[in-house]
Amino acid sequence: MDILGITSTIGGLVVAVAAFRVQLHSYRLQQEQEGATPGSQLDPGAASEVLDEEVDEDPVKTIASQFIFVDHEERGVGYIKKQPICVFLDLHSASCDPGKRDTLASSLATFIKDEIGEVGTRRVVATPREGNLLVGAEVARILQADFLMIRTGIAPRFGYPIEGTFHQGTDVIIVDDLCMEGAFLGRCVRNLRRYGANVSHCFCLFERLDGDSREVLASIAVQLHSKYQIDDDILRRLREGM
């Protein structure tokens, strides 16, 4: 067998092994999430009382109060197993409604401009594939910035973990609807930096303080900006609202 044939065979084996790892990861994830459920939907009226006494004057909190689910068995939800979530804020579903998506994205875009000024062509907006891509892309449109999608898993079929175009040295801001899991955000930052992006800011509408996103991001020199915070007292009151 010539060198070209050997190289081709090795390349095929590498792709096959990578594909197997993806399938194995997907299978394990499916097994871990068996029985996982977003729980029962919390009454919007009860949720609004907890989120803010004047929730009707805040359209983002009004939307959030309509998409809160509670599971008293504390089973894992989504990708997080080690930190069982019994209060789940489902802004992905909210974002499927064009009007609600516009409200969420407009609020987040305004918050970003208030924090760091105009974005425009000076920065690029990036959102994790597992995050709220609908809101992230709309935020980029409002800010007149380019948009990137970050893959945090193994994706041999797609090549690079970053979907979109940017140049080395570009300032990239990570944008999502909610931040909680630090390890997940850390992978996003590492993938961006691996390909030459400068990352020093991450923005979200809601930060769950029972997670470790702020601490992990700070340890890798990224500042987390959150418009709203969900602390232990709010989580307790939401659970009791069922």
Q: Is 52 helix (H, G, I), strand (E, B) or coil?
A: coil
Domain boundaries, the chain: 1-32, 40-240
pLDDT of residue 32: 46
**CATH 3.40.50.2020 for the 40-240 domain, yes or no:** yes
Cα separation, 125 vs 234, whole angstroms:
30
Around 155, how many Cα atoms within 13 Å sit in the side-chain half-sphere? 13
Rounded distance, CA 199 to CA 79, Å? Answer: 24
- pLDDT at residue number 237: 82
Which positions ≥6 away from 9 have C-beta within 8 Å? 1
Indicate the pTM of the whole model.
0.76
| pLDDT for res 52 | 63
Tens of pLDDT along the chain (242 residues)?
A: 455 444 445 444 444 444 445 454 444 444 444 444 455 676 666 666 666 654 557 899 999 989 988 776 655 544 444 455 678 889 999 999 999 999 999 999 999 999 998 877 789 999 999 899 999 999 999 999 999 999 887 655 556 788 898 889 999 999 999 999 899 999 999 999 999 999 999 999 999 998 899 999 999 999 999 999 998 888 888 777 65
Q: Answer yes or no: are the C-beta atoms of 203 and 225 closer than 8 Å.
A: yes
Q: Phi/psi at 221 (nearest 5 deg)? A: 60, 40
**Distance, C-alpha 148 to centroid of its chain:** 13
- Quick check: 33 and 76 in contact, CB under 8 A? yes
- What pLDDT, on the 0 to 100 scale, is given for residue 36? 44
Residue 230 pLDDT = 92
